[in-house]
A and B are shown apart, each in its own frame.
Chain A
Amino acid sequence: MDIAAQSIMIKTHPLNPADYFTLAMDEEIRNENMPGSLCGFALELEQLPSIVTLKLRIAEFGERFPLVHTTLKQHGKRFFWSENSFNLPIYFEHVSENLIDQNTYHKDCILQLLNTKQPREEQPPITFHLIQSATKTTFLMRWMHPFCDARGADLILKYLCTDDIKKRLSFNPLEIEPLVDQQMAKYPWWQKISLFIKAKRYISQIDQLRSIIHADITLKPKKLNFQTYTLTLEQTQKIKILTRQYVGLTGTSLYYLGCFMRALHVMDSNQIGDAYCTPYVFNLRKNKALNPILGNHVAPLFAQAPKSLVTHRSALFQHLKQQNNNAIREKLDYAFLPAMKAASWLSLERYGNELRKSMGTNSERSSFWFSDIGSVELPNNQLLGSSINKVLHLCQITSPPALAFLSCQLNQQLSFSYNFIEPLFTPEWITALHKIMVEELLTNTT
């Protein structure tokens, strides 16, 4: 089948309710004089892939998914992806001639790309960067969060890493109704209202406890930084056993979350606040589905643990698990869908305020951001014949909380990317936090 024939010509494309959710965060970050909700997946490669083939693959992706060649425009209250007249490039090469500080060059380059602020309407929604030095190659995919969520970005990487054209054609570019809307369509109007009220009650309950924030909020955010650590095979295996022991089959992510809360508590147990609170998303796509790629298809939930429970390891995990079970049993995972739909008509300023601020205390609701991508499964674990040695996960964050903990597994090894905003957090603080985090993950108190 002719790939170009599958392309969809677009003039404007509306944002779905979950895209607005992330756009509001983009606005909040921009208001802090930061670059907005930019995210990245960086692959550290064994060797330089064929640049000609890489460029062709990216061009093909752009042809099949023309939304890649749009920019975000506002018409009245609404935002749309609109065809851009600038013909903005989406592929870039960055080469270091300097033989010294190879590692620093790659990290500096990634940070510069994630920290560059551009007007929203002049920014391509996604760009691809090949970073080369004498001994190292990194492939960075940087995207704006309203364009796609982490699962979508993972699918784009899968597309680029798939050599078989027939398999690439199974990534469907045809316009699919957003999963948020598909799910909403299952409910009669009265049930939508009931879910909306349920979401409001859920938030009110969460907001009864003031969230603990570790960022030094007396300082203004200046730049995103990150530190990524890969655990050994042995450590990963041991953590897998402990996860099963503490939270069972149904709460892998909750084990990381609980350990992270405890590590933060060890860093400073006197921090003001009543509870750790973190948002996490529930993905509406079926697992292993290759579509939809673009857009956000998620609903938010919260994990919250009172300070008094954080000190009791087993009780904490039991609490987090029970909370998650209750959320699913009471269908709270779908409760935010009507709220997201309604909120997409608010101004971004008002929406951001509703999302971040705790109603009871007028402070930030999130103690930190969290995402567990699970196992990264790219075909043959290669990009165009070059083995992938490491995955780095990056995301801009609002300040506060100025801290995001992102986990995944590659080659049977756990990888943790700590994203943080300087100077509200320092690299030294994050290094110390990770050391405690590993101790927490490997602790067996029973």
Chain B
Amino acid sequence: MKQQIRNFIFNELIFVAEPTKFSDDDNLIDSGLDSMGIMRLIMFLEEQFSVTLPDSEIDPDNIKSINTLEQWILLHKA
């Protein structure tokens, strides 16, 4: 799951010179993930992992890193 999220973020949304050095805990918002990007990311996650992510939970705590994104998805998959 993490790899799929990573691929989408680095192929479509933000430029990172060396994605392999970007850890799963690094901050995505500080690295350039903007409001339009977050929207696209959520659409991708919902489609890819067949989950519905509530609007009320779209906050920095859930979006800030690849690890928090994974936890957020797993919470709704369960």
Closest to A330 in B: B43
Which of B34, B39, B40, B55 has a CB less than 8 Å from the CB of A374? B34
> Which residues of A, 293-321, contact B by the 8 Å Cβ criterion?
none
| Residues 239-254 of A contacting B (Cβ, < 8 Å) | 248-253
- Interface presence of A329 (CB below 8 A): yes
Q: Could you say which residues of chain B place their CB within 8 Å of the CB of A282? A: 36
Residues of A within 8 A of B42 (CB): 250
- Inter-subunit contact A288/B43 (CB<8 Å): no
User: In the complex, what residues of A have CB within 8 A of residue B33's CB?
Assistant: 287
Quick check: B15 and A286 within 8 Å, CB to CB? yes
Q: Which residues does chain A contribute within 8 Å of B58, judged by CB atoms?
A: 248-250
Other-chain residue from B14, B36, B59, B63 in contact with A288 (beta carbon distance below 8 A): B14
| B1 partner residues in chain A, CB cutoff 8 A | none
B7-48 toward A: CB 8 Å interface, digit per residue (1/0)? Answer: 000001111100000000000000111111111101100000
Identity of the chain B residue whose Cβ is nearest the Cβ of A253 in the assembled complex: B35
One of A249, A253, A290, A329 near B38 (C-beta < 8 A):
A249
Which of B12, B14, B35 meets A250, CB within 8 Å? B35
Measured between alpha carbons, how far is A286 from B35 in the docked complex, in Å? 13
How many residues on B have C-beta within 8 angstroms of the other chain's C-beta atoms? 22
With A287-B33, A288-B32, A328-B43: A250-B38 Cβ-Cβ less than 8 Å: yes
Q: Enumerate chain B residues within 8 angstroms of A252, measured Cβ to Cβ.
A: 34-35
Q: Residue B35 contacts which of A249, A285, A290 (CB distance < 8 angstroms)?
A: A249
Across the interface, B43 reaches (CB within 8 A) one of A289, A290, A329, namely A329
Do B40 and A287 touch across chains, with their CB atoms under 8 A apart? no
Would you call A287 and B43 a contact (CB within 8 A)? no
Determine if B31 and A248 form an interchain contact, defined as CB atoms under 8 angstroms apart: no
CB-CB nearest in chain B for A331 = B43
In the complex, whether A133 has a CB less than 8 A from a CB of chain B is: no
Report how far A250 CA is from B42 CA in the complex, Å: 10
Interface of chain A residues 151 through 178 with chain B (CB within 8 A): none
A324 at the interface (CB under 8 A from B): yes
Q: Which of A248, A286, A290, A329 contacts B55 (CB 8 A)?
A: A248
- Report the minimum CB–CB distance from A387 to chain B (whole Å): 23
A290 CA to B15 CA in the complex, in Å? Answer: 8
Q: Select one of B32, B39, B63 contacting A324, CB under 8 A.
A: B39
CA distance A250 to B13 in the complex (A): 14
Interchain nearest-CB distance for B76 vs A (Å): 17
State in angstroms the CA–CA spacing of A249 and B54 once bound together.
13
Complex formed: what's the CA distance from A249 to B38 in Å? Answer: 8
Chain B 54-76, CB-CB to A under 8 Å as 1, else 0, gives 01001110010000000000000
Q: Of all chain B residues, which has the CB nearest A290? A: B15
Is A325 interfacial (CB 8 A cutoff)?
yes
Q: With A286-B12, A286-B15, A287-B13 as known contacts, state yes or no: A251 contacts B31, CB within 8 Å.
A: no
Kindly list chain A residues whose C-beta atoms are within 8 Å of the C-beta of B43. Answer: 325, 328-329
Q: Which residues of A contact B40 (CB under 8 A)?
A: 328
Asked whether A287 and B14 contact (CB < 8 A) given A249-B58, A250-B58, A329-B43, the answer is: yes
Smallest Cβ distance from A331 to chain B, in angstroms? 9
Query: Shortest CB–CB separation between residue B52 and chain A, in angstroms?
Result: 12
Cα(A442)–Cα(B16), bound, Å: 35
Within 8 A of B (CB), among A254-296: 282, 285-290
> Across the interface, which residues of B come within 8 angstroms of A286, CB to CB?
12-15, 32
Per CB-CB distance, the 3 closest pairs between chain A and chain B, nearest first, are A287-B32, A289-B15, A288-B32
- 19 residue pairs A–B, Cβ–Cβ below 8 Å: A248-B59, A249-B58, A249-B59, A249-B60, A250-B35, A250-B36, A250-B39, A251-B39, A286-B14, A287-B14, A287-B15, A287-B32, A287-B34, A288-B14, A288-B32, A290-B15, A325-B39, A328-B39, A328-B43
